[in-house]
Amino acid sequence: MISVGILGGTGYAGKKLIQFCSAHPFVKDFEVYANTTADENLYSLFPDLEGTIEDKKVLSAKAISFDHDLYFLTLPHGEALKYVPALISKGKKVIDLGGDYRLDFEELYLQWYHLEHSSSYLLKSKVYGLADFDKSAYTDVQLVANPGCYPTAILLSLLPLVKGFGDEILSVSCSAYSGTSGAGKSPKSEFLLSEMEGNVKAYSVNSHRHEPEILQTLYKNGFHSPFAFTTHLLPVAVGIYATSFIHLKNNVDETSLQKLYKQSYAESPFVRIRNTPPELKWVINSNFCDINISVKEKKVVVTTAIDNLVKGAAGQAIQNMNKLYGWDESLGILQKEVTYAAFS
């Protein structure tokens, strides 16, 4: 049994972590820390959770306790740098849901986040926690960088193909769509209902911070082709839908690709290989990643759907917590008596 601290726990992903930790059989207790919402009660912040979790007072992030075993951080860019080094130095385990430790090089961090990295020595020792693809044990790991929502969807879409057909790939283009919760809880005029209702728009074209994160992992797995990544906003609150277009040098058999993907995720309870393109409603409020592969001669189209707050944030963070302690990955996420296949 472990004690958990959730730092920045009153945002969208933080709320999901509270729900997961409340239900996890091996989490004996947890505390929630925040800045602007310190001293408020969880029931006042999340009235819908009354009766499903224990009410707690949100503690100040300025007075964080070092008595917990593991810490989840769901903070804006740059804020985790203020806490992670001290937690690591005290021997604590940390899962950072932000972008501060995902990239391997401080130069990349400066280029894309426009901040100087104050603990770059931790970038090499951290584990990038793409839980469904990296099946290695987290032996002696202290710091896990939880992948971003877009990278989770796109990397799970592409990595089996990259590892199996890397030398055959001519180019990859990804068009991805997100609900507005991906931008966080702070109010912004461009995310108002009156702005987004019935509307779709591209944003951060050729400049999205998740691009180097995606490429970093693709390169490590043998990718060396041109890559394009464009993000869009959908008029929904939750969900990510990604369509990846892969052009190959030679024809490929769809049955072979289906088999490759099913083998790649045979031990992943949360990846489902679908016979038809997935829909957002199939994955909302779940930790599933649904993938469909379609082939026409030298062209492969992979469609993917996830919940950005669960699979793209809190759910995968709980998977990573389970891996840190050697527990079943699905513990506290799936009902134990239900068996899920890697395909449908």
Judge: domain 2-125, CATH 3.90.1150.10.
Answer: no
For residue 289, indicate whether it is catalytic.
Answer: no
Let me know the angle formed at the C-alpha of 201 by 196 and 207, rounded to the nearest 5 degrees: 125
Q: Which of 27-31, 104-108, 184-188 has the lowest mean pLDDT?
A: 184-188
| Beta strands in the chain, from DSSP E residues, in sequence order | 2-7, 27-34, 59-60, 70-73, 93-96, 127-128, 143-145, 169-178, 201-203, 227-233, 240-248, 271-274, 289-296, 299-306
pLDDT value of residue 340: 39
Residue 198: band (very low, low, confident or very high) from pLDDT cuts 50, 70, 90: confident
Residue 152: band (very low, low, confident or very high) from pLDDT cuts 50, 70, 90: very high
Selected residue with higher pLDDT from 265 and 182: 265
Domain with CATH 3.30.360.10 in the chain: 150-307
| Beta strands in 86-146, from DSSP E residues, in sequence order | 93-96, 127-128, 143-145
Burial 214-240 (b: 16+ CB within 10 A, else e): bebbbeeeebebebebbbebbebebbb
Q: Identify which of 239, 281, 309 has the alpha carbon closest to the alpha carbon of residue 16.
A: 309
Tokens of 286: 């779940």
| Mean local confidence (pLDDT), 140-156 | 97
What are the tens digits of pLDDT across the range 54-103? Answer: 999 999 999 999 999 999 999 999 999 999 999 999 999 999 999 999 99
What are the tens digits of pLDDT across the range 284-336? Answer: 999 999 999 999 999 999 999 999 999 999 999 999 999 999 999 999 998 64
Q: Map residue 188 onto helix, strand or coil.
A: coil
Strands, sheet with 127-128, edge to edge from the N-terminal-most edge strand: 59-60, 27-34, 2-7, 70-73, 93-96, 143-145, 127-128
- Strand-pairing partners, residue 171, are 247
pLDDT at 220 over 60: yes
Residue 344: band (very low, low, confident or very high) from pLDDT cuts 50, 70, 90: very low
C-alpha to C-alpha distance for 81 and 101, rounded to whole angstroms: 9
pLDDT at 338 over 50: no
Domain with CATH 3.40.50.720 in the chain: 2-125
Choice among 21, 149, 174, 289 that is catalytic: 149
Selected residue with higher pLDDT from 273 and 10: 273
Q: Which CATH class is domain 150-307?
A: alpha beta
